[in-house]
Amino acid sequence: MIHIGPHVSSQGSVSFAPLRAKELGATGFALFTKNQRQWRSPELKEEDISAFKKNILDSGYSPKSILPHAGYLINPASPNEEMADKSFNLFMDEGQRVVRLGLETINIHPGAYKEGSMEEGIKRCSLMVDRVLEEVPGLKIALENTAGAGTIIGSKFEELDAILSEIKNKDRVGFTLDTAHLFGAGYDVKGDPDGVLDSFFSRFGEDKLFGMHLNDSKVPLSSNKDRHESIGLGLIGKEAFLTIVKRREVMNIPLILETPDESRWKEEINELLGAAER
């Protein structure tokens, strides 16, 4: 089955997220399990956890169709000791939230090395991933590729490979490919979406693709910028996405829309689901 849907709001309660996704006709979705721009948030209530699990079941979703996203404050590659400690604690807390909700995988950005070398940042990122996995049994981590601005790591497959090579718990780590980030980093998902995916699979294998973010781009190829656009309205264009959803390798992983116009989500879902089924 193909799992397509947007990153829906969990405002009010995480238990509302599957209901919001279902209203849109989504077959998968993403969410934040807490406020993504705060270091501290109230603990999950048992009643919200129970309601979330019930709504997942009643709406026909499974853990494999849902890809929670970690908050934006976490920087696994930070050279600053205080920031690294805060990032680890928040990363661990969000991982524990995911497991308590009965889900499997958390999506996170590899972070920015800020100073020194990228190699040092990669080692710090890998170490933090391993520390979180040791503290949170049952959790899997999806590292998201980036557009490559500044000192942010993870824009090239070689960088993702370098992170993975330093991780001990490799069986619990994979990747989320964001199409807008790929495009910004110089991977031509407009002209050759199959070639880009084939390049990834030849390096990592099919089992390391834990999810995708399907976003068109407001900025051109190799811009090293991250600016999402609605499907078909950006510089990648609709045809690339219609090609991607037909790939055998993307069956049974979450394909998440992070497109900016919520009023278009239902249309985007329907068109992509229709293309996948043809």
Which residues are known catalytic residues? 37, 69, 72, 109, 144, 178, 181, 213, 226, 228, 258
* 3-state SS, residue 141: strand
Instruction: List Cα–Cα distances, 24 to 6, 54, 119, 166, in angstroms.
Output: 9, 19, 43, 40
- Which CB contacts under 8 angstroms, 24+ apart, belong to 134-139? 134/169, 135/92, 135/95, 136/92, 136/95, 136/96, 136/99, 137/99, 138/99, 138/104, 139/95, 139/96, 139/98, 139/99, 139/104, 139/105, 139/106, 139/172
